[in-house]
Structure 1
């Protein structure tokens, strides 16, 4: 296993679960790619706002905070389609894959 790869953590589990939606592997529709790019940029901006960088820990913390906020508002991922929250989680999972934190 390569350094930095985490086989069973929140990022790996969500990447596996949300990857079933399709856009984390293979080609996607152009509109979905654009949406994911925008969400990924927002996550990167949020993490780097105070001089931070994208690490496994920073993405995991971001994900936990984001999911906690979603749950407080009553959101759950059982709905069909790509709502705003689902797109943000997918973007975090995509960033984790791009940085080698998950497969």
Structure 2
């Protein structure tokens, strides 16, 4: 196992959960792909705006803060369509996979 890789990492848990529901498969709708791409760009900009490098740790910190905000607002995903928060979470998972932060 790679040094610094934790099975209990929130990125790994979330990616595993989304993967088990098939949500990380390549979306068939081009519009959905574009929305996830826009969220990924927003996440990257948010992390890097303070001169922090995008890494497993910085993405995990972003995820933790994002989930805290969702909890504070009482958000839960029960919609049939992909809401803003779900798209954001999909983008985080995709970024984690593409950059090799999770397997």
Calculate the TM-score normalised by the size of structure 1.
Answer: 0.87
Q: What is the alpha-carbon distance in structure 2 between the residues aligned to residue 78 and residue 14 of structure 1?
A: 17
- Give SS of 2:100's match: coil
1:6-25 per-position Cα deviation (integer Å, ceiling 9, x unaligned): 43311111111122443422
Matched, 1:41 2:25: no
Matched, 1:18 2:18: yes
1:34-62 per-position Cα deviation (integer Å, ceiling 9, x unaligned): 01000000000001001111111101110
- Give SS of 2:69's match: helix
Residue in 1 that maps onto 2:85: 85
Instruction: Kindly report the root-mean-square deviation, in angstroms, between the aligned alpha carbons of the 2 structures.
Output: 1.7
Shift of residue 81 of structure 1? Answer: 2.3
Q: Structure 1: which 4+ aligned runs deviate by more than 6 Å?
A: none
CA gap of 1:29–1:36, structure 2 versus 1, over 3 A, is same
Aligned 8 A contact 2:77 2:83 in 1: no
Q: Which runs of 5+ in 2 are unaligned?
A: none
Larger relative contact order, structure 1 or 2 (CA cutoff 8 Å, min sep 6):
1
Q: Which runs of 5+ in 1 are unaligned?
A: none
